[in-house]
Structure 1
Amino acid sequence: MDHEKVNILLVDDQPAKLLAYEVILKDLGENLVAAASGREALEILLKTEIAVILVDVCMPELDGFELAAMIRDHPRFQKTSMIFISAIQVSDFDRLRGYEMGAVDYVPVPVVPEVLRAKVRIFAELYRKTRQLEHLNAELEDRVRARTAELEESTARLIESEQRRSMALAAGRMGSWDWDWDNGDWMWDEGQYRIFGVEPQQFEVNSANIRTLLHPDDVEDLRRMIEEFAKGAQSHEAEFRIHRPDGEMRWCVGTAAATLDKNGRIVRVSGVTVDITDRKRAEERQNLLTREVDHRAKNALALAQSIVRLTRADNVKTYVNAVEGRINALARVHTILSLSSWQGAEISKLVDEEIAAYSMGGQIRLSGSEVQLQPATAQTLALALHELITNSAKYGALSTLSGHLSIEWDVEDDVLALIWEETGGPQVQPPTSRGFGTRSLMTSVESQLGGQALFDWRAEGLICRLLIPLARKKPIAELHDRHGAAANLSRQRAS
Structure 2
Amino acid sequence: MLWSGSSDLVWDAERMRVATDAAGVALWSWNVDTDEIALDERAHALWGASRNRPVTFETLSARIHPEDLGRVKAAFTATRGMIGAYEIDFRILHHDSIRWISARGQSEDVGIVNRVMFGVFLDVTDRKQAEETRELLAGEMNHRIKNLFALASALTSLAARSTETKAEMADDLTGRLAALGRAHSLVRPNPGQENKALLGELLAVLLAPYDDQTTIGRRLHISAPERPVGEASATTLALVVHELATNSVKYGALSAASGTLDVSCTDEGSDHVILWTERGGPALNPSQGPKGFGSKLISRSISFQLEGSITYDWLPQGAVVTLRISKTCMTR
Normalised by the length of structure 2, the TM-score is: 0.70
- Where in structure 2 are the equivalents of 1:40-51 lying within 5 Å? none
Q: Are 1:244 and 2:94 counterparts?
A: yes
Between structure 1 and structure 2, the one with the greater Rg is: 1
Two-structure CA RMSD over aligned residues (Å)? 4.4
Supply the distance in 2 between the matched residues of 1:180 and 1:447 (Cα, whole angstroms): 60
Structure 2 match to 1:299: 150
Structure 2 match to 1:269: 118
Normalised by the length of structure 1, the TM-score is: 0.50
Supply the distance in 2 between the matched residues of 1:131 and 1:320 (Cα, whole angstroms): 77
Q: Are 1:382 and 2:238 counterparts?
A: yes
Q: CA deviation at 1:403?
A: 6.0
Q: Are 1:429 and 2:283 counterparts?
A: yes
Pick from 249, 253, 260: which aligns with 1:396? 253
Q: CA deviation at 1:407?
A: 1.6
Structure 1 match to 2:306: none
Contact 2:29–2:38 (CA<8 Å) still a contact in 1? yes
SS in 1 for 2:151: helix
Supply the distance in 1 between the matched residues of 2:82 and 2:168 (Cα, whole angstroms): 79
Structure 1 match to 2:296: 443
Higher relative contact order (CA 8 A, sep 6+): 2
Percent identical pairs in the alignment equals 16
Supply the distance in 1 between the matched residues of 2:190 and 2:299 (Cα, whole angstroms): 26
Q: CA deviation at 1:186?
A: 0.9
Contact 1:179–1:186 (CA<8 Å) still a contact in 2? yes
Contact 1:164–1:187 (CA<8 Å) still a contact in 2? no
> Structure 1 stretch 331-340 or stretch 302-311: which is displaced more?
331-340
Structure 2 match to 1:288: 139
Structure 1's 362 and 347: CA in aligned 2 closer, same or farther, altered over 3 A? closer
Supply the distance in 1 between the matched residues of 2:52 and 2:204 (Cα, whole angstroms): 61
Q: CA deviation at 1:308?
A: 3.5
Pick from 108, 111, 114: which aligns with 1:260? 111
Shift >6 Å, 4+ stretches: none
Q: CA deviation at 1:430?
A: 2.0
- Where in structure 2 are the equivalents of 1:66-465 lying within 5 Å? 79=2, 127-129=4-6, 165=17, 167-169=19-21, 174-181=24-31, 184-190=36-42, 192-196=43-47, 198=48, 205-231=55-81, 233=83, 235-246=85-96, 248-257=97-106, 260=111, 267-276=116-125, 277-313=128-164, 315-335=165-185, 339=189, 347-357=199-209, 358=211, 359-360=214-215, 362-363=217-218, 364-369=220-225, 370-372=227-229, 375=232, 378-390=234-246, 392=248, 396=253, 400=257, 404-422=260-278, 426=280, 428-430=282-284, 434=288, 439-440=292-293, 442-450=295-303, 451-459=309-317, 462-465=318-321
Q: CA deviation at 1:408?
A: 1.0
Which amino acid counterpart does residue 252 of structure 1 have in structure 2? Answer: I
SS in 2 for 1:214: coil
Supply the distance in 1 between the matched residues of 2:169 and 2:311 (Cα, whole angstroms): 25
Q: CA deviation at 1:176?
A: 0.8
Q: CA deviation at 1:181?
A: 3.0
Deviations 1:182-232 (CA, angstroms, capped at 9, x unpaired): 763412333x34543x26568864322211011234334544455455447
Supply the distance in 1 between the matched residues of 2:20 and 2:189 (Cα, whole angstroms): 43
Deviations 1:340-360 (CA, angstroms, capped at 9, x unpaired): 99x987533531331233342
- Segments of 5+ residues of structure 2 without an aligned counterpart are 304-308
Contact 2:184–2:231 (CA<8 Å) still a contact in 1? no
